[in-house]
Chains A and B, each alone.
Chain A
Amino acid sequence: MNSFVKKIVAGSALFTVLFAASGQNRYSSVRYSLAFPTGNTQDYISKTSFRGVEFEFGSYINTHWSIGLQMGYQTFYKEMGKTSYPIRDGVITGYQYRYIHAVPLLLQPRYHFAANAKINPFVGMGVGTYWVEQTTEMGLYAWVDKIWHFGLAPEAGIGVGLGMRSMLFASAQYNWALPTAHFDSRQWMSMKLGFTYAF
């Protein structure tokens, strides 16, 4: 992990902990995430990912604003079948399997339009890092890239109150892991469903 990314991660964690500790309305959330690959991710793996989970811990700053630290894990996978691919002065033929494991670690501020209402729509903009491991397996060979990206993740969703402290959470978030010097950007759209518990 380079120093810039370390600073981002450490800063995000510290910021969130300070806010969460000082706030009166802390919350934690667990969500299932379904993801549709787009852009470069779709070019590499076109298949929808049903393997995703996300956790968030944060605090309401005031009636309309909250901030949290969001950690997720999303896996994209596709069996390419038996295919031939060009190599330098040659060809390789075999079954190919493609994987992307992505771990977003985002600082997630949100604006809540009606925080005290039963139906609570919100928008947010995640900022942070994405750790992406991309693996291409073919026969006994594997090509692996492990990259830290800086990323942005605009989000829109809705919270539905289930009681004094719990809330149903549903949102759509566009994950945009920005390109690095040696690797293209990665993008996908997440559809999330989960529960938030205030304490």
Chain B
Amino acid sequence: MNQKFLILVATVALFTACYPEGATYVHELDTAMSRYDSNFAFHEPQSYDLPDTVAFFKNGQPQASHAVIGALLLTEVNRKLDSLGWVKHPLVQDDLPDLMVSITVHENHSVGMIWGSTPGYWWGWYPGWDFWYPSGGWYYPWITIPYQIHTGSVIVEMAAPNQAQRNRIPIVYSGVLDGLLQGSERYRLQRLQVGINDLFGQAPFRGATNRWD
């Protein structure tokens, strides 16, 4: 009887030990993804506009800004573009920058982002450009699809107004940071900083990555 019991215990222990653990810490579940127009010359410094506001959304609805997170994201994205040699060029009606950059934060329990292959129109947020809103709006050569998951997402998008065709401005870059909404504010800020660094370390900026090393 004892022998059978020991065999049973050993068998259960063996099977229990068979499944490895995977990620241990929350930051190990963070991902940085970028998708871009490979024909756009990201590696050649150009002019850009970045509004001094980060838009916050919760469950798809506008949300009050989080000053600390917004400031960190603006500072980091500005710093990365500046270090690449890009020149900040405020949005002016007859002198558009090469890139219009937007940052949005989806602090939510329901929205993540995944790219599909179907072209579509931008869901739309960019302050201060009402004076020149082409009837075609911005469009994606791919489509960004929200999905249900308990995460937060930071989305950095870049549109090229000078490449507008038939009043449609192409989005040439989408960067998405995804992660779990867990941990202290300090931990989250560290993760966001690492995430922005990861995004700009990826192609299409890879040609300039060494300047940061």
* Residue A65 interfacial (CB < 8 Å): no
User: Given contacts A53-B11, A75-B19, A97-B22, is CB(A140)–CB(B28) below 8 Å?
Assistant: no
Given contacts A53-B15, A89-B38, 12 further A-B contacts (CB under 8 A): A32-B14, A52-B18, A75-B20, A87-B33, A90-B115, A91-B203, A93-B202, A94-B29, A94-B31, A97-B23, A139-B29, A140-B112
Interface size class of A (residues with CB under 8 A): 20 to 34
Q: Are A90 and B35 in contact (CB under 8 A)?
A: yes
- Measured CB to CB, the residues of B under 8 A from A are 7, 11, 14-15, 17-20, 22-23, 28-38, 112, 115, 142, 149, 151, 178-180, 198-199, 201-203
* Residue A199 interfacial (CB < 8 Å): no
Q: Are B23 and A53 in contact (CB under 8 A)?
A: no
Cβ contacts A to B, 17 pairs, < 8 Å: A30-B11, A32-B14, A52-B18, A86-B203, A89-B35, A89-B37, A89-B38, A89-B142, A90-B33, A90-B35, A92-B33, A93-B31, A93-B198, A94-B32, A95-B29, A139-B30, A140-B180
Report how many A-B pairs have Cβ atoms within 8 Å: 80
Residue-by-residue, is A80-102 near B (CB-CB < 8 Å gives 1, otherwise 0)? 00001011111111110101000
User: Given contacts A137-B23, A140-B180, is CB(A89)–CB(B112) below 8 Å?
Assistant: no
* Residue A198 interfacial (CB < 8 Å): no
Q: Are B18 and A51 in contact (CB under 8 A)?
A: yes
Q: Are B202 and A91 in contact (CB under 8 A)?
A: yes
